Structure 1
Amino acid sequence: MHAMTLRLSPGDDLRAALDHAFRTHGLSAAFVLQGIGSLSVARLRFAGREEAAELRGDLEILTLAGSLSAQGPHLHTSLSDADGRVTGGHVAPGCIVRTTAEIVVANLPDERYTREHDAATGFAELVIRTA
């Protein structure tokens, strides 16, 4: 395992930036170990929902974790608003960095991640192979 730290800038799309880093560094399997920072816009899909909800304002990233594969990121986050209320869910496209996001990504060079249809769940699920 090799870890790398990313710092995202104001206006960056969180998912797109992580996907770009995955592709730019030629990774085959990676995991977001942790992320902190802030967002001005968050788009989260809550459990059992089809569509993402949009939150706007000064939002702090309390946690960020997930996997990175060739099919794109699968990320979950918990956020707090200016009143300290906490919410969390699946990170959808359109989460925009407010001031910064500091993210630690673990590269797993001996593995290859893909997302493939799983008949048991009906969703594209993580498949782990040896590289």
Structure 2
Amino acid sequence: MQALPLRLAPGDDLRAAIEAAVRVHGAGAAFVLQGIGSLSVARLRYAGRPLPTELAGDLEILTLAGTVSPDGAHLHMSVAGPDGAVLGGHVAPGCIVRTTAELLIALLAGHAFARELDLATGYPELAIRRL
């Protein structure tokens, strides 16, 4: 496992930047171990909902974790607003960094991740292969 610390700048799209960083490093499998920072926009898809909800304003990233494959990322995040209320869910594209996002990504040599349709769930789920 190779550790990849990453800092994102204001205006970066959180999900797109994570996917790009893993792609640039040529990793076929990665985990986002943790992330903190702030967002001006968070787009979260809540459990059982088909579409993401957009939250705007001063938001703090409390937790961020997930998997990244060449097919894209599967990330979950919790954020707090100015009143401290916490919301969380699946990270959709369009989460915009406000001041910073500080992440730790683990690149997994010897593995390849893919998303494949799972007939039991009806969703593209993580497929793990050892190289």
- Normalized against structure 1, the TM-score is what? 0.99
Displacement of 1:89 in angstroms is: 0.2
What do the CA deviations read for 1:20-44 (whole angstroms, capped 9, x no partner)? 1011110010000000000000000
Displacement of 1:110 in angstroms is: 1.2
- The answer as to 2:81 corresponding to 1:81 is yes
- Which runs of structure 2 are paired with 1:1-131 in the superposition (5 Å)? 1-131=1-131
Consecutive unaligned residues of structure 2, counting only runs of 5 or more, are: none
Q: How many Å separate the matches in 2 of 1:129 and 1:71?
A: 14
Q: How many Å separate the matches in 1 of 2:51 and 2:28?
A: 29
Q: How many Å separate the matches in 2 of 1:27 and 1:114?
A: 12
Query: What amino acid maps onto 1:69 in structure 2?
Result: S
Q: How many Å separate the matches in 1 of 2:106 and 2:45?
A: 24
Q: Which runs of 4+ in 1 moved over 4 A?
A: none
Q: How many Å separate the matches in 2 of 1:23 and 1:4?
A: 12
% identity of equivalent residues? 65
Query: What amino acid maps onto 2:51 in structure 1?
Result: E
Displacement of 1:67 in angstroms is: 0.2
Query: What amino acid maps onto 1:12 in structure 2?
Result: D
Q: How many Å separate the matches in 2 of 1:119 and 1:85?
A: 36
Q: How many Å separate the matches in 2 of 1:42 and 1:28?
A: 27
Answer yes or no: is the 8 Å Cα contact 2:34–2:64 preserved in 1: yes
What do the CA deviations read for 1:49-91 (whole angstroms, capped 9, x no partner)? 0010000000000000000001101000000000000000000
Query: What amino acid maps onto 1:128 in structure 2?
Result: I
SS at match of 2:20: helix
Consecutive unaligned residues of structure 1, counting only runs of 5 or more, are: none
RMSD in angstroms over aligned alpha carbons?
0.4
